[in-house]
Structure 1
Amino acid sequence: MVFSLKDILRIEVAPALGCTEPVAVALAAAAAASLIDERPFESIEVWVDPNIYKNGMAVTIPGSNNLSGLDKAAALGAFGGDPKLGLEVLDSVSEQALDQVVQFCLDPSVPIHLLENIRGICVRVRITAGGRQAEAEIRDFHDQIVRLSLDGKNLETHPLLFHVHQNKEPDRAKVEEWIKGLTLDELLALVDELDDEDRKFLKEGVDVNMRLADHGLKYGPGLGIGRAFERLIRQNLIRQDMVLAARMLASAAADARMAGVNLPAMSSAGSGNHGLTATLPIWAVKDYVSASEDVVIEALALSHMITAYIKAYTGRLSAICGCSVAAGAGAAAGVAYLLGGTTLHIAGAITNLIEDLAGVICDGAKPGCALKLATAAGTAVHSALFALQGVRVQATDGITGVSPEKTMQNIGTLSREGMIETDRTILKIMIEKKFTAKK
């Protein structure tokens, strides 16, 4: 089956309000809550895979007055979320709902169960009220609701279920399998399919992400990395160039997003931070070169496609920082394209980036992600510039393959097969730290 660039954009690029792991929990809770008219809720119970657990431990939930944790995310979804909004489920949360969440999470608590042996995205939420019991389950993709049940009976035709409306959009799993079979030349050829609707959508995505970056630069939330860069420039301690501009925009946007600022991100491959990394370095570099807006938009499209390609091999969540390796490689490819690079240059940019950042781990979503996005953005630009100067890591080096496709596939093998125990160890350290802090 053959798909198109428009299909890739439809399933891989979407607005998301807040970190997509707690948002997935909120979405499942909102979906379950929508099945029950009875109030008040007697209990909310959550089961999640290790990576959802890891990424939901420390990040601030947007519009929540600095609440964090999967228990709060579940309660926010149940009390105030609108499941019809998908990954923007929390956009409907009111002050009244916030008050209910704070009280509910004190007594009774919302237990979070770790599904230790589950691989891939899995979220299950069970809500009890008035003697009735509703359940929702999300699998594989952050917003893919695969099961809804009320009082033990599965609701096979409910409109929130993915399979009910999947005929209206391309099958995600099939699109991912199709992407995995493409060559870099074929991915580049897809850029020619961009129509006016696609270009408008990609530009709107940058605008969405730039609002986060502007907020981060103005107010310095989170770690304030983006604003610190700007301050260092003003103090003449560092000088701004395209590399620093890319680092500043990406980190400022991550500062805002990880601090729970109530602004959406245009995500890529299921992650808002991936979306920031895939787009903002390209947007920063455009101010230093002579390129038309059409070329800039084409570079953005290529970046999203390379990000999707790598994530199709690594899986949505893993021990490897996808912002660094997947979206970073996408940005490197996009920057090389923007600078007039050939297929050979673009391949070199991807390979250079992966050789540099393949070892960056994912230790959950938190304010410190801004540091990793700063590194990924800067390295993406450097990787493209090096490639244009003929610098390209050879296939004899490490996990580098004989082609850019093989190099990207090797990252998938490393992630899916080689980093499983690493992922468990990362989570073990994080859980031990969490419980030690409570004592």
Structure 2
Amino acid sequence: MMVNQWQQYIDLVQKEVVPALGCTEPVTVALASAKASELLGGVPDHLTIKVTPNLYKNGMGVFVPGTGKAGLPIAAAVGATAGDADKGLEVLATISDQGLIRANQLLDEKRVSVTMVSNDDVLYTVVDASLADKHVEVCIAKAHTRFEYMVVNGDLVYQAENVQCTSSTSEQSLSLTIADILAFITSVPLADISFIKRAAELNKALADTGLSGNFGLGLGASLQSQMDLGLLSDDLLGRAMRLGAAASDARMGGAHQAAMSNSGSGNQGISATMPIVAFAELRDLNDDQYVRALMLSHLVAIYVKSKQNKLSALCAATTAAMGSTAALTWLLKGDLAAIHRAINSMIGDVSGVFCDGAKAGCAMKVSTGASSAVKSAILAVAGRCVSSQQGIVFESADDSITQLGLMSKTAMLSTDEAIIATMQHKQVG
């Protein structure tokens, strides 16, 4: 690859790997509501939220940080009463006690409603809000923090520049391949990419919180207890699963701590980070190895997600771990061919895991991705993998990644519809 592409790669990672407080779909609703309150000059009397079925799916079962409650209504309410629209994905970083009390009052008085609307953009979110005789409408679209338009009393006060609604976060003119990513991370000056260590710091802190057992499913803490009893081993496989699960437990369980996200998802960021942290805890890595491995993992995770829809029936927490398997293979002295083998094995393993919404149970899938990442890396450095004669796997991992993305956009659409219909039925029931 050309050296002049290095800055493009760095810019891409800095855009897609950012701190996020809480699950990013409810946070999108909270952000739109916070902006609505800002435009109104006070807390709304009423809030009406319209979201796509996919955003609804990812928002109804996950706890909102600092609230003790799950779902889009509380996200909208607390965003309106205590959110800071200038903080983007950290809109809920400073929830006050009074703001939370007011948010719960809005819910108790049934002043918040959430409905689903169809839109080609899966992140399409509209908040209608009113205060006395003032009315505003705020739309977020095409990215979790991108305001599309704002209307105050019927007057358009903001309209974003028109951009193509791409199916993913990074389908841009910038080309990504496994070979180019590997060449980049092994050659770029270390100082240029050292910022990626922040991902390990944030997500490890989240895992430490999750290990308390007080959040989400408590999977990380449960695995830890069995390690303490000697039933499970604290080896690379066990530690990667435990740390990944614990971080997801905390994030899905409403811990008031930011995750370092990847491609708009905290769980994807966790999946691309924690297996590398686990390896570093078990083996002495110098700063050069650690930073380059983290960068390799996150950039591959971005690449894999770029072939998929932003939200779909495919579990991106498991596919993000393909970044981890690439980095683990590299840390185990595997070459480019070995990295291709590792990713192919993961595609042969976890490609059928579907997304049934953001929730505490995501910790199970994060741990599954971590497990597959470790197994696939070990298999790859032994010269073995799921071959191109099997399933949807091709000889080149680049082709396998493309095929996986294609299936997520086509064959899994009916699966997505069935999942959403099931979740709707449960809400009504």
Q: TM-score, normalised by structure 1?
A: 0.92
Cα distance, 1:194–1:68 mapped onto 2, change above 3 Å: farther
d(CA) in 1 for partners of 2:45 and 2:214? 40
Query: SS at the partner of 1:268?
Result: coil
| Cα pair 1:202 1:301 within 8 Å, conserved | yes
d(CA) in 1 for partners of 2:20 and 2:121? 23
Match of 2:248 in 1: 254
Match of 1:321 in 2: 315
Q: Does 1:239 align with 2:233?
A: yes
CA RMSD of aligned residues (A): 2.0
User: Which of 256, 280, 283 is residue 274 of structure 2 equivalent to?
Assistant: 280
Match of 1:186 in 2: 180
Q: Does 1:177 align with 2:181?
A: no
Q: Does 1:15 align with 2:1?
A: no
User: Which of 50, 57, 78 is residue 47 of structure 1 equivalent to?
Assistant: 50
Match of 2:304 in 1: 310
Deviates more, 1:240-249 or 1:398-407: 398-407
User: Which of 275, 288, 299 is residue 294 of structure 1 equivalent to?
Assistant: 288
Q: Does 1:422 align with 2:415?
A: yes
Query: What pairs up with 1:32-71 in 2 under 5 angstroms?
Result: 32-37=36-41, 39=42, 41-64=44-67, 66-71=68-73
d(CA) in 1 for partners of 2:189 and 2:271? 21
Query: What pairs up with 1:21-420 in 2 under 5 angstroms?
Result: 21-37=25-41, 39=42, 41-64=44-67, 66-156=68-158, 163=161, 175-179=170-174, 181-191=175-185, 192-199=187-194, 201-325=195-319, 327-420=320-413
Query: SS at the partner of 1:156?
Result: strand
Which amino acid is the alignment partner of residue 229 of structure 2? Q
d(CA) in 2 for partners of 1:321 and 1:47? 24
d(CA) in 2 for partners of 1:381 and 1:346? 12
| Cα pair 1:36 1:132 within 8 Å, conserved | yes
Query: SS at the partner of 1:177?
Result: coil
Residue 112 of structure 1 and its aligned partner are, at CA, apart by 1.1
Deviates more, 1:213-222 or 1:237-246: 213-222
| Cα pair 2:34 2:84 within 8 Å, conserved | yes
d(CA) in 1 for partners of 2:169 and 2:323? 21
| Cα pair 2:206 2:250 within 8 Å, conserved | yes
| Cα pair 2:245 2:364 within 8 Å, conserved | yes
d(CA) in 2 for partners of 1:218 and 1:103? 31
Cα distance, 1:244–1:20 mapped onto 2, change above 3 Å: same
d(CA) in 1 for partners of 2:170 and 2:327? 21
Residue 116 of structure 1 and its aligned partner are, at CA, apart by 3.3
Deviates more, 1:16-25 or 1:190-199: 190-199
Which amino acid is the alignment partner of residue 10 of structure 1? Q
d(CA) in 2 for partners of 1:418 and 1:145? 31
Residue 288 of structure 1 and its aligned partner are, at CA, apart by 3.0
Residue 117 of structure 1 and its aligned partner are, at CA, apart by 4.7
Unaligned stretches of 5+ residues in structure 1? none
Instruction: Give the total of aligned pairs.
Output: 422
Unaligned stretches of 5+ residues in structure 2? none
Residue 190 of structure 1 and its aligned partner are, at CA, apart by 2.1
d(CA) in 2 for partners of 1:415 and 1:194? 36
Which amino acid is the alignment partner of residue 236 of structure 1? G
Residue 174 of structure 1 and its aligned partner are, at CA, apart by 9.2
Which amino acid is the alignment partner of residue 238 of structure 1? L
Cα distance, 1:222–1:40 mapped onto 2, change above 3 Å: closer
d(CA) in 2 for partners of 1:220 and 1:96? 24
Which amino acid is the alignment partner of residue 355 of structure 2? C
d(CA) in 1 for partners of 2:412 and 2:119? 14
Q: TM-score, normalised by structure 2?
A: 0.94
Residue 72 of structure 1 and its aligned partner are, at CA, apart by 1.0
Query: SS at the partner of 2:215?
Result: coil
| Cα pair 2:193 2:291 within 8 Å, conserved | no
